[in-house]
Amino acid sequence: MLLIYSPQSNTRLQYICKFIFEEILHKSYSITTDYINFNKHDGNKINYSNSYFENSFQIKPQGLLLETGITQQKIECFNFNNCKTFFKSENSDYPFDIFAATFYLITRYEEYLPHHKDMYGRYAHTNSLAYTEGFLNLPLINIWINDLAQVLKNSFKNFNFQFPNFSFLPTYDIDIAWSYKQKGFLRNSAGFIKSPSIGRLTALLGLKDDPFDSYNFLDSTHQLYNLKPLYFFLVAKENGIYDKNILPDNDAMQDLIKSHKEKYDIAIHPSWKSNDAIEILKAEKEILETICDSNIYSSRQHYIKFNLPNGYNRLIDANIKNDYSMGYGSTNGFRASVASSFWWYDLKNEKTTTLRIHPFCFMDANCYYEQKLTLEESFKEIMHYYLQCKNANGTLITIFHNNFLGTDKQFKGWSELYRKFIFQLQ
């Protein structure tokens, strides 16, 4: 048993110790505020205080975990083992307060502070410490924890731990199920007038596949490589500027959802409009549950549109248990600087919630629309994130859209890129 001493034990310290030791290192531990019992303990022990104790590993606290409330933090980054760190611990057995630094990043503390929003009203990635200090492309928390584990192993006798195995979760956002099919006469007529196309006619006549129809391709890929994907369906009841889905009362759309539910896990992709009203979110969730005759507990926001803490509180109110929105809709990278799932900590109420966060780090649309990468550059990008997650013993979660993997000329080469990437994972 690892014993951790702190002059006070609160929800922040309990939260971060559970994440580091129990969830990542699978190491049993206990926190004590009794320095006498801590001194007597003859096992492995970490001293998280400014006091000195013999035969213990000391990490001097920066102070963030002993606070309540949200205040601007003084952060000065420095290099340690070729990685950025902050919250330096002077005259300590570890050079920085890894507990406080991890807490700051994983809770998205900076997103509660005054910040600039992007054109969609989202937290702009350019605000983030990870972006300004150049570690957005790294699962920094995993790297830190892996290093700490090795240091503790060298410092203690019989310090056993177990890193999690690398895992890969392919996920898909079904924003617009078909390019032409099932859109009705008016939408197709308007589309044809705007952009006359033989492809539209042949797809509508059933002479060739709809260009956004990549479902058979994905089925064969999953079967060939034994993948277990997660599909997110947009089921907004009304179309809008950002919600352009096939409406959920469409029979073909319902059949598509049902057929995927028979083979895979599915989740809700809350519409743009749902960000303004919990009633809309609950209604969309109920629609999807009715179609697939099953409870829905997982979600990812359309356009990655959410703000903390209100966005996550709405999900909890709608009985969502797992969210997959933790990433940016403007660039690839690790928004929370971690490649592992974690419980959302509500800084406003100082408590660990029931919402599990599953961060993604790569999305096809970011490569194409935001970063404007070529196919070759996009492949290098996804391979970079694969290797980062694998080396850090994390989970790689990718987002692809059905329209990128179909036969639309605009996205030519993306299906081949995806198959090539999946092959590299084997």
Chain segment 109-118, per-residue pLDDT in tens: 999 999 999 9
Q: Is 348 helix (H, G, I), strand (E, B) or coil?
A: coil
CA–CA gap between residue 333 and residue 313 (Å, rounded): 24
The predicted model gives 232-242 an average pLDDT of 97
Would you report the helix, strand and coil content of the chain in percent, each value rounded to 5? Answer: 40, 15, 45
The predicted model gives 149-168 an average pLDDT of 96
Indicate if the pLDDT at residue 198 is higher than 70.
Answer: no
Q: How far is CA 397 from CA 2, 123, 167, 332, in A?
A: 32, 21, 9, 12
Radius of gyration of the chain (CA): 24
CA geometry: angle 229, 233, 234, nearest 5 deg? 155
The answer to whether 27 and 160 are in contact (CB under 8 A) is yes
* Longest Cα separation, the chain: 82
The predicted model gives 223-237 an average pLDDT of 98
Helix 215-225 / helix 414-425 crossing angle, nearest 10 deg: 10
In this prediction, residue 12 carries a pLDDT of 99
The answer to whether 397 and 360 are in contact (CB under 8 A) is yes
Indicate if the pLDDT at residue 416 is higher than 80.
Answer: yes
* Tokens 């910040």 belong to residue: 115
Indicate if the pLDDT at residue 199 is higher than 70.
Answer: no
Confidence of residue 106 (pLDDT cuts 50, 70, 90): very high
The predicted model gives 375-400 an average pLDDT of 99
Confidence of residue 200 (pLDDT cuts 50, 70, 90): very low
What is the residue extent of each domain of the chain?
A: 2-155, 167-177+212-425
| Mean per-residue pLDDT of the chain | 95
Confidence of residue 185 (pLDDT cuts 50, 70, 90): very low
Confidence of residue 153 (pLDDT cuts 50, 70, 90): very high
Indicate if the pLDDT at residue 188 is higher than 60.
Answer: no
Indicate if the pLDDT at residue 54 is higher than 80.
Answer: yes
Taking the alpha carbons at both ends of the chain, their separation in whole angstroms is 37
Report percent pLDDT > 90 for the chain.
92
Confidence of residue 183 (pLDDT cuts 50, 70, 90): low
More confident call, 242 vs 202 = 242
For 228: left if phi > 0, alpha if psi spans -120 to 50, otherwise beta; the answer is beta
Selection from 313, 296, 301 nearest residue 112 by Cα:
313
Indicate if the pLDDT at residue 192 is higher than 80.
Answer: no
Confidence of residue 209 (pLDDT cuts 50, 70, 90): confident
The predicted model gives 167-196 an average pLDDT of 74
CA–CA gap between residue 308 and residue 297 (Å, rounded): 20
The answer to whether 45 and 5 are in contact (CB under 8 A) is yes
Pick the CATH number of 167-177+212-425 from 3.20.20.370, 3.30.1330.100, 3.40.50.300, 3.30.43.10: 3.20.20.370
The predicted model gives 22-36 an average pLDDT of 98
